[in-house]
């Protein structure tokens, strides 16, 4: 299973728990290559192993970054400058099953409202995942991602300042923008203060727009 964790951390977009007939609780890995891989492991165990791969402790990370956003649960976890795992609710659990899948924030391409309480998350690899949270809740979680990324960089001697302001917030290297698109849709993403996308990428951020529909 160590190889599955390594593949996900190198090429993963999301890991989603699934109830499989005659098999039980399994985990589906969605890769940026477009492939899918099912493994016999709970999401809790997989998350612990993913965090441990970088020499970290899951409980310690949750405490550190939970204090940043004022939450104890569903806390985004920055593991490197380029890799932040963020949870979204993807199923109604049975018994003690986990309800949340974990997404690589840097591979989230867009969000689409499905209903008042559900959203489709589009990730690299052409995968669309149904999330059982409102669009506003998903957007809030992505704002939390940027706050914990800021704290991670500060802890690792990268001086970055985040200022939360209503539905968006500022970054010295990028800023969150929202503009009207075709057919009344809106687009939201990171616009670089620098015109050089490589400068933005060096700080673990994506320079492409995040589509909100």
pLDDT tens figures, 98-134: 899 999 999 999 999 999 999 999 999 999 999 999 9
Tell me how far apart the alpha carbons of residues 120 and 80 are, in angstroms, rounded to a whole number.
26
Tell me how far apart the alpha carbons of residues 188 and 181 are, in angstroms, rounded to a whole number.
10
The pTM assigned to this predicted structure is: 0.76
**Average pLDDT rounded to a whole number, residues 154-183:** 45
27-31, 130-134, 147-151, 205-209: least confident range: 205-209
The answer to whether 74 and 65 are in contact (CB under 8 A) is no
The domain ranges of the chain are 2-160
Tell me how far apart the alpha carbons of residues 69 and 19 are, in angstroms, rounded to a whole number.
31
pLDDT, residue 98, reads 86
Tell me how far apart the alpha carbons of residues 97 and 94 are, in angstroms, rounded to a whole number.
6
Q: Give 3-state DSSP helix, strand, coil % of the chain, rounded to 5.
A: 30, 40, 30
For residues 137, 175, 156, 75, the Cα torsion angle rounded to the nearest 10 degrees is: 0
Mean pLDDT of the chain: 79
**Average pLDDT rounded to a whole number, residues 29-48:** 94
pLDDT, residue 24, reads 72
Q: In the structure encoding, which two tokens stand for residue 126, read together?
A: 């052409």
Find all residues with CB under 8 Å of 113, minimum gap 6, and list them.
Answer: 119, 134, 135, 213
The band of 156, judged by pLDDT with boundaries at 50, 70 and 90, is confident
Residues making up the chain, counted from first to last: 213
Q: Is the pLDDT of residue 81 over 80?
A: yes
């Amino acid at each position: 299973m160590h190889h599955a964790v390594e593949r996900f951390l190198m090429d993963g977009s999301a890991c989603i728990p699934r109830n499989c007939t005659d098999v039980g609780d399994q985990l589906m890995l969605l890769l940026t290559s477009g492939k899918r891989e099912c493994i016999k492991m709970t999401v809790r165990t997989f998350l612990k192993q993913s965090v441990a791969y970088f020499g970290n402790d899951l409980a310690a990370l949750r405490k550190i970054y939970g204090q940043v956003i004022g939450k104890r649960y569903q806390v985004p976890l920055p593991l490197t400058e380029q890799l932040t795992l963020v949870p979204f609710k993807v199923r109604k659990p049975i018994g003690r099953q986990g309800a949340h899948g974990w997404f690589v924030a840097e591979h989230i391409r867009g969000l689409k409202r499905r209903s008042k309480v559900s959203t489709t998350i589009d990730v690299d690899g052409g995968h669309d995942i149904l999330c059982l949270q409102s669009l506003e809740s998903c957007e809030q979680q992505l704002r939390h991602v940027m706050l914990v990324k800021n704290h991670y960089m500060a802890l690792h001697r990268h001086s970055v300042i985040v200022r939360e302001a209503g539905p968006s917030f500022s970054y010295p290297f990028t800023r969150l923008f929202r503009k009207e698109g075709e057919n009344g849709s809106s687009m939201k993403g990171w616009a670089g203060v620098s015109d050089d996308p490589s400068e933005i990428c060096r700080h673990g951020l994506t320079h492409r727009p995040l589509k909100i529909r």
